[in-house]
Structure 1
Amino acid sequence: MLIKFALMINLAKDIHSLTEFKRNTTEFLQQIKKTKHPLVLTVNGKAELVVQDAESYQELLEAAELVETLKGIKLGLEQMQRGEGKKAEDFFNELFNKIDNPQ
């Protein structure tokens, strides 16, 4: 899985009111597809929504999944360095015993 995601918000071009977005939806969608930058939409001057293209959103989900995976690996390595956990052989022996002898 190759992740090429870069979330970039241009404060001058990517923050707009929801009303402006409604009036110019087609133009904004073309901008999103061209730049791959999400748009921040405001209501009464406050950020309320983020709109982005589906491909960039999928890349964001994959990046988040990768981060969670790396955090899990880091935690496992830290536990291993502290002498916590089990050897893989012991774990699998216990697992297969549970499968072969359900209670």
Structure 2
Amino acid sequence: MPKVLPTEDVRTLSEFRANTAAFVNQVKETRRPLILTQHGRSAAVLLDVKAYEDLIEHAELLHDVEVAEAQIAEGKFIEHDDFKKYIFERLGL
């Protein structure tokens, strides 16, 4: 995800309401997130759809790695050679 440029990518909620289409186009073209503020504090982030999908995919992958690491720590795993043997038996090879 490209780096946020504070002079271009941080806007008030009032500005966003008044220029929604322009800001959506900005996010689509630059692929940078738009940070929306309310009462001087960050309130929301507008992301390009692809950037959002990439972020979700990355989070899901990290979660899968955490689950796998926990399973390994608990001894819930199969050694490579045992798994290979199991698969070959299932395939009748």
Matched ranges for 1:1-103 at <5 A? 6=1, 8-77=3-72, 79=73, 84-86=74-76, 88=78
TM-score when normalising by structure 2: 0.71
TM-aligned CA deviation for residue 12 of structure 1: 2.1
Asked if the contact 2:3/2:32 (under 8 Å) is kept, the reply is yes
Amino acid at match of 1:47: S
List alignment gaps of at least 5 residues for structure 2: 80-93
Unpaired segments ≥5 residues, structure 1: 1-5, 90-103
1-structure distance, mates of 2:28, 2:3: 13
Determine the C-alpha separation between the residues in 2 that align with 1:36 and 1:13. 12
Q: Which residue identity does 2:65 align to in structure 1? A: L
Structure showing the higher helix proportion among its residues: 2
Q: Percent identity?
A: 34
Report the number of matched residues. Answer: 79
Output the aligned Cα RMSD.
2.1
How far did 1:54 drift?
1.8
Report if the CA contact (8 A) 2:36-2:42 is conserved. Answer: yes
